[in-house]
Amino acid sequence: MNPPALLPLDDAQARHAAEAIGRLRRVLQGVLFGQHDLIDLVIVGVLARGHVLLEGLPGLGKTELVKGLARALDLKHKRVQFTPDLLPGDITGNPVLEEVDGRRSFTFQPGPVFANILLADEINRASPKTQSALLEAMQERSVTVMGQTHALPNPFLVLATQNPIELEGTYPLPEAQLDRFLFKIDVPAASVETLERIVLEREIGIPPEVPCVIDAHALTALQDAVRRVYMPPPVANFIARLVAATAPTNPLAAGVRYGASPRAALALSAAARARGLCQGRINASYEDVRDVALPVLRHRLVLDYGARLEGLTPDGIVARLLDAVPAHDKPLPTSLKAAKV
């Protein structure tokens, strides 16, 4: 039995949602200076119910952004510093032996994963066993301990960070786990103007004031609105062709060993819808897909050894694919020339 069809948004609803998102954006821009694109992508990830992997050098404000996001959304957040000796139970929670009314029994003590926003700091430093403990939580939004499944709070968002330096003793995330992140966002270094503003407006040890602009209920409503953003068939076709173009058999994807999965297409679709709503539109567009393609696809492409030797990066390949795959999938006759968009 097919699920009931969702009602599409109307323009007023989309505008209203965009205004709320705009407020959140402005608040976060006051938390993290000069990182507008990063903030937009994080908001898109939140709205698309996706998990975000942030990669960048220490001190760029990743943790501050997550804290600010939690406060602006009035959500419960937890931070876990991943280390090699971290155990899965340290994240998911452990059964504790308790005596109640003279009887001893195991009581589940929830771990830090039971929060709306989980900041997994330096996730690649934990052992694969611990990393895999996050798999079920990220995908199923539930935790199973001693045969009992415990649902995670809604909304649930994992914001993980990893450090591109000091790779000794780290455990790179396996592709299966990487695929569960909606975005992998490279956190760029701050510009001079941003640094100047930070120096002028911030002090060490004093967190910025962050007002709550959207509560959890409103956030859930916004996430539901994202699902009602219309995905036009030509845009869906564009997403499909873009993902298919990452296949190693495609000449455009030379150097790719493993291409993007159908989950990547779903991620692109969800992210494009969320971005469309951020723009106050009732439908996703080709521009939305192009804007979110890089953070969606870059961690889903596995390059071969030759490509890495040649210095090719997933970012370069995705950029090449975006240039080569047009929204309009049919060629034009030689007597006509496509005007540049």
Partner 1 sequence: MPIDTNLARAPANAAHWERRARLLAAEINAGWWLSSWLPTALVIGIAGTFALLWARWQAVELVPFAWGAIGVALVLAGVAAWFTSRPRFESVASARVLLEERLGLHARLSSAAAGVGDWPGRRIDLDGRWPVRIRATRPALLLTLVGAMLAAAMAIPVADAGAFRRRAIEAPADAEIVSQWIDELQREKAIDERSAGAVNERIEEILERPRDAWYEHATLEAAGTLREQTAAELAALARNLAAAEQAAADLAAAPSRAASAEKHRDSQALAAAARQLALGGMRPAGDAGEKLGQEAAEALADLSPEQLRELAAALRANRSKLKAALAKAANFDLDALGPESDCEACQPCGVCKECREGKPCKKGACAACKKAGRGGITRGPGEAAMKAGVEEDLGATRRELVTAPTDVARSAAGELLDVVDAEHAVDESTYVGPQAGGSIAPTADGGGPSRVDNLLPREQDAVRRFFK
Contact residues: partner 1, CB under 8 A: 2-8, 10-11, 227-228, 230-235, 276, 279, 281-288, 327-339, 341
Task: Find, among 110, 111, 41, 90, the residue nearest to 69 by Cα.
Answer: 41
Structure tokens at 162: 């990893």
Residue number with CB closer to partner 1 (14 or 303):
14
For residue 326, the minimal CB distance to partner 1 (Å) is 8
Nearest distance from C-beta of residue 282 to partner 1, angstroms: 5
| Rounded Cα distance, 160 and 39, in Å | 15
Question: What are the beta bridge partners of residue 149?
Answer: 144
Residue with smaller CB distance to partner 1, 6 or 96: 6
Please confirm whether the linkage preceding 155 is cis (ω < 30° from 0).
yes
Smallest separation, CB 141 to partner 1 (Å): 17
Query: Got the DSSP string for 212-241?
Result: --S-HHHHHHHHHHHHHSB--HHHHHHHHH
- Of 24 and 284, CB closest to partner 1: 284
Residue with Cβ nearer partner 1 (102 or 233): 233
Quote the CA–CA distance of 180 and 263 in Å, as a whole number. Answer: 8
H or E element at residue 13: helix 11-31
Q: CB-based contacts of 266: which residues, under 8 Å, 6+ apart?
A: none
* Chain centre distance of CA 231: 20
Q: Which is nearer to partner 1, 207 or 234 (CB)?
A: 234
CB of residue 126 vs partner 1: minimum separation in angstroms?
Answer: 35
Give min distance, CB of 265 to partner 1, in A: 16
Pairing of strands 142-145, 148-151: antiparallel
Q: Which is nearer to partner 1, 138 or 225 (CB)?
A: 225
Closest distance of CB 303 from partner 1, Å: 30
